[in-house]
Structures are given as C-alpha cells and as structure tokens.
Structure 1
Amino acid sequence: MIFSLWLLVVMESAYGKGANEMKAPRLEIQQLLFGGIVKNKNLALRLGEAIISDIYGNDELKLQRPFSVSEDNGIWTIVGSKNAGEGREGEGCVIIKIARDDARVIDIKRLFIVKNRGK
C-alpha cells in the first residue's frame, strides 16, 4: 500500500505537468527506503545477464556462465567465466559494473587474451 501510494506520487510529480514539462522522477526516497535500485546480488546478476545477452547474444551469455558477482562501494561487478584460467588466446570474460543506487551501467569491457609471440 505504501509503495503504491509512493509510486502514484512519483508518477504524478514526474508526469502531471504535461508532455512539454516532463521531468524524471527523483530517486532519493527509493534509495533510502530500499537500499538502492539494485539492492541485491541476484538482481545485479539478472541485469548483467540481460546486458550481455543484448550486446553479445544468447550464445555468448551461455559461454560466460557461471558469473561471479561482488559489490564494493555501491558498485556491483559482474564477471563472466569464459576462458577463465585456461589461458587460451582469444576472447575472454565480460566484466560489467552497475551502480547500486540508480542502476547505471558504469563500465562494460571484454578481456582478450593475447600470448606473447616473441620476435
């Protein structure tokens, strides 16, 4: 009930002034009440998987599993396991960083393993 009422207030404040005056809802209340938008490891993992699937495709998502998920200073880090510890040359794991407070994707990178070929 409280959440529904809060959502109604946010929607009214964000969209109640007409299409030309729309503004984004403020997230401070939700951050205080619920510990941020991405409040747990499971949600961070699901977001990371959705991003990987969208950018790299479902086949790559399967190759990246299992994932490790950690949080440090309000930043979730999701790390895939493709080619982890194998040392094969080529594509490696995907690393995604997501902000706990507002779910911003802070960084996405993919590691590549290149062996020293000598000259």
Structure 2
Amino acid sequence: MQNPADFYSTLKHFSPIIFIQFKTMQTSTSTNEPALSIPKAKSIFASKTFWGVVFTTVAAIAPILGNAVKEQKLSVDATVNIVIILCGSGATVAGRVQAKQPIYTPQGLPGPNIDSMLS
C-alpha cells in the first residue's frame, strides 16, 4: 500500500479538483455532516451565467434580425447563423445546469485560483 502522504502529494499534482474533494473528505470533523458538502441549489434565473448567455444571445441575434427586417427577407446564411448562436447558448446553459465542480482561474487573473481553493 502506498504511503498516504505520497498519495496525497500525487493526487494534488495530478488533479487539483480531485485533491480538493479528497482533502474535504479527509478533514470532515463532525459525524453528523457529510464528508463532501453539497452546495445549495439556486434557481436558474439567479445564475449570472444564465443571464449572461441570454443577453449575449439577444445581442448576437438582434443585428441579424434587424437586417432581415430591413431587407424584408431572412436569408439562409442569417438562419444558419441564428441556429449556431442558439446551439452555443443552449450548450452553455446545459453546461451550467450540469456543473458540479468549482472552477478556478490561472494565477493573476480575476476569480479564485487553485491556491485559494486549497486553504
């Protein structure tokens, strides 16, 4: 069996997210609380990601529709562009709904980095 300290170090190097979850499981002190904390759910309408997608999608589609109204026809190219925008937006919202792990940003950029998640 591998030495726990070596395993801990290897795990931290291999995958920071797995390391955070493993560390959380190992440091749970109360027998009444679960080893991994379950984040509280929030409405999709309370999600900044959702509203960012909505506003970005509207901003991307509005000029296409504006030109279509001005020309009084919706071209195939415009329709394809709208479909691509809606597919990307749908994938983003689906990813947000399914997300279960926190993310971090590289050192020096805004947002949490891996060091702040380990403490």
Higher share in strand: 1
Q: Larger relative CO (CA 8 A, sep 6+): 1 or 2?
A: 2
Larger radius of gyration: 2
Bigger proportion of residues as helix: 2
